[in-house]
Structure 1
Amino acid sequence: MKLLTETQLGCLRLRNRVVMAPMTRSRADQATDIPTDMMREYYQQRASAGLIITEGTQPSADGKGYCRTPGIYTSAQIAAWKTVTSAVHAEGGQIVLQIMHCGRVANPANKAVGARTLAPSAIAAKGEIYTEQGMLPFVEPQAMTEADIQQTIDDYRQATVNAYAAGFDGVELHCTSGYLPAQFLSTGTNERTDAWGGCLENRLRFVLDVLAAMTGVDGADRVGMRICPGNPFNDLHDADHEETFAALLQQVDPLGLAYLHVIRMPQLGLDNIGLARANYRGALMVNESFDRDEAEAILDEQIQAVSFGRAYIANPDLVKRFRESLPLSQMNPKTLYTPGEAGYTDYSAI
């Protein structure tokens, strides 16, 4: 089975092509953003994956959006993450950190005192976000100043430095789901008239500068990027997402990233994988509701791996189940984001 063979993504040598997708699970300490021992156990249980991509992790206090998500900006957070990477490596696995700045997707109830909600423009997202006080509306963000933008780019760089210090094998830029990089790319969230907005070239600049900062730490072959053109999540909309992402990928292609992580969206009639193939020559990882046989069929010279989200929640031994054609357990959606072990570390391996 091709899915269970080795492959190379940049400097990452995967023992199989079954990747654990990044999934917010909200089990970090709310007050400190420090990963917990429970998180170490969760990732260690799933270390037979060819590669684990962690949940989205904020590079700064300002970057936090959801409750109980981890950070990578303090020494205590780095130390806690090091126990996670050590546990995964002890099982022969590899793990990369997904860096996620939520931008305007936030409410102060989820943030530390004094932390700001920043975005390209002062446009509030429509909708609500979960907090420990219940559902609350997204707030109007502060439009970022030039100094804010430069500081945030440096936050991504420092988060990459910190991730490597914590033992991660690589990092992934979260560039979809309505979060800060996507907010800069999209006409519906970026109404700036300076060098960071307006024309397409300017709207691409933030993502490209962030990637330059991240790849500048220890090369591009340890850095991936996740995209989903056309994803409307968190009230995101763009006048022409195909034009935007075609231009972005054409500029990212020469960087030599470890991989491009592409989420398909067939329910919207979009061919995101085709868009990626047409504008990017490097290795692809694909995602969204693949079963084993479909994943096996799509692998080719360019598509080197498939990431699985929901299947990995309830099946810590997913690779074994694929190998031996064993049935998959079903996840309990009611415990996706609840604190505690239930629906997190208590799913059994066969």
Structure 2
Amino acid sequence: MNTTYYRQRASAALIISEATQISPQGQGYAWTPGIHTEAQIDGWRAVADAVHAEGGRMFLQLWHVGRVSHPMFQPGNALPVAPSALPVPGKTFVTDADGNGIWAEIPVPQALTAAGIADIVADYRQAARNAISAGMDGVEIHAGNGYLLDQFINSASNHRQDNYGGSIENRARFLLEVVDAVSAEIGAERVAVRLTPMGRFMGMGDATPEDTFGYIVGRLNDWPLAYLHLVEPAIVGTVRDEQVDPRWDAIIRQLRKTYQGVLMLAGGYDGESAERAVADGRADIIAFGRPFIGNPDLPERLRGDHPLNTPDPAAFFGGGAEGYVDYPELDQSQAA
């Protein structure tokens, strides 16, 4: 069914897949896909082939959730891993004894060792290789939204006192090692990075976001990446953020000046605001997430200023075809 979903949306200039775990340890929610077994590679190959057959292009988003997990997903029922063993302010989505999806408390995670970090860098590298083997045009490294790489970046979640904690340079080290390994494996021109400066999901926060993300974005200029994807703070989890930090606009403008490559922005855009952001030079590309869930023909709807279907949040975390592949498209007379 996911092949149908992505085929329906192949009119996008570029599809970025749903977050896809790089290893069993990287899983944090029920029913999420991976790219670490042959069966998973074969499944994604069918998706990539379907998108390409419709003239589309697709990057696979590589994901390790870190502490946003539960022992039921971890090898040997171990505790989830994190930069530091700190409580997590949130829940994750698991299955009960009857196979039903429920929300569960997240336990205090275990701090990763240096050897564990090296293993995860290798997992990212292998996952990127697997994605290309599956026919993907590239990969996007998910380093935002409160997941593992973001947990290392942010001072609120990283209390380490080794080479991966403390200074901005140390907190950015894990991400930069992943970018370097993945770029060496498949070519930097096939690699993108997603960041969420000022994000607050799952307890994220940084004492000096201007300096932290300014450093990271500057370092990303070391590779000729496909693009840098910054998510503006419009959404926390599944709801609109009503407490957006007022520094955000200045930070995004600073990062725009710092980054020398293609900049993609996402977060609460509609057709009009997207056009304005590109025309004003705020970004080179605007990404749409939720609107594309409910509107497989979103580009045509935006071009023609047609009304949009509203996606059903109840179907975001599982279920069947309803709320997934059954959203109505424009008929030919409307599309024309």
> Quick check: TM above 0.5?
yes
The one-letter amino acid paired with 1:40 is: T
Distance (whole Å) between structure 2 residues aligned to residue 73 and residue 338 of structure 1: 21
Structure 2 equivalent of residue 235 of structure 1: 203
Partner letter of residue 176 of structure 1? G
**Separation in structure 2 between the aligned mates of residue 135 and residue 302 of structure 1, nearest angstrom:** 38
128-137 vs 203-212, greater mean Cα deviation: 128-137
Q: Give the one of 142, 149, 154 matched to 1:174.
A: 142
Q: Is residue 266–residue 286 contact of structure 2 (8 Å, CA) maintained in 1? A: yes
| Percentage of matched positions with identical amino acids | 42
The letter for the 1-side match of 2:94 is T
The letter for the 1-side match of 2:118 is Q
In structure 2, the partner of 1:44 is 7
1:150 is matched with: 118
Which residue is equivalent to 1:281? 260
Q: Work out whether residues 273 and 286 of structure 1, in 8 Å CA contact, stay in contact via their aligned partners in 2.
A: no
Aligned to 1:128: 91
Please say if residues 65 and 110 of structure 1, whose CA atoms lie closer than 8 Å, have aligned partners that are also in contact: yes
CA separation in 1, counterparts of 2:153 and 2:325? 37
Deviation, structure 1 residue 114 = 4.3
Where 2:200 maps in the other structure, the secondary structure is coil
Out of 241, 245, 257, the residue aligned to residue 268 of structure 1 is 245
Counterpart mapping for 1:48-127 below 5 A: 48-111=11-74, 113-114=76-77, 117-127=80-90
**Mapped partners of 1:57, 1:273: distance in 2:** 27
**Pair 1:347-2:315 in alignment:** no
Matched residue type, 1:79: D
Task: State the Cα deviation string for residues 60-89 of structure 1 (Å, max 9, x = none).
Answer: 000111111100011111011100000000
Which of 279, 282, 287 in structure 2 is aligned with 1:307? 287
Contact 1:188 1:237 in 2 (8 A): yes
- 1:181-330 equivalences under 5 Å are 181-265=149-233, 267-269=244-246, 270-271=248-249, 272-300=251-279, 303-330=283-310
User: SS of the residue aligned with 1:234?
Assistant: helix
2: CA distance, partners of 1:321 / 1:70: 29
The answer on whether the counterparts of 1:104 and 1:124 sit within 8 Å (CA) in structure 2 is: no
Rounded Cα–Cα distance in structure 2 between residues aligned with 1:258 and 1:209: 17
Contact 1:99 1:159 in 2 (8 A): yes
Task: State the TM-score, normalized to the length of structure 2.
Answer: 0.89
Structure number with the bigger relative contact order (C-alpha 8 A, sep ≥ 6) is 1
> Cα deviation per residue 1:228-254 (whole Å; 9 max; x = unaligned)?
111010111221122110111111112
Matches of 2:212 and 2:123 in 1, distance apart? Answer: 25
Once superposed, what is the RMSD of the aligned Cα atoms?
1.5
Count residues in correspondence. Answer: 313
Q: Secondary structure at the match of 2:25?
A: coil
2: CA distance between counterparts of 1:162 and 1:116? Answer: 26
Q: Which runs of 5+ in 1 are unaligned?
A: 1-37
CA contact (8 A) 1:65 1:106 kept: yes
1:18 corresponding residue in structure 2:
none
What letter matches 2:60 in structure 1?
L
Residue 316 of structure 2 corresponds to 336
C-alpha distance in 1, partners of 2:232/2:94? 29
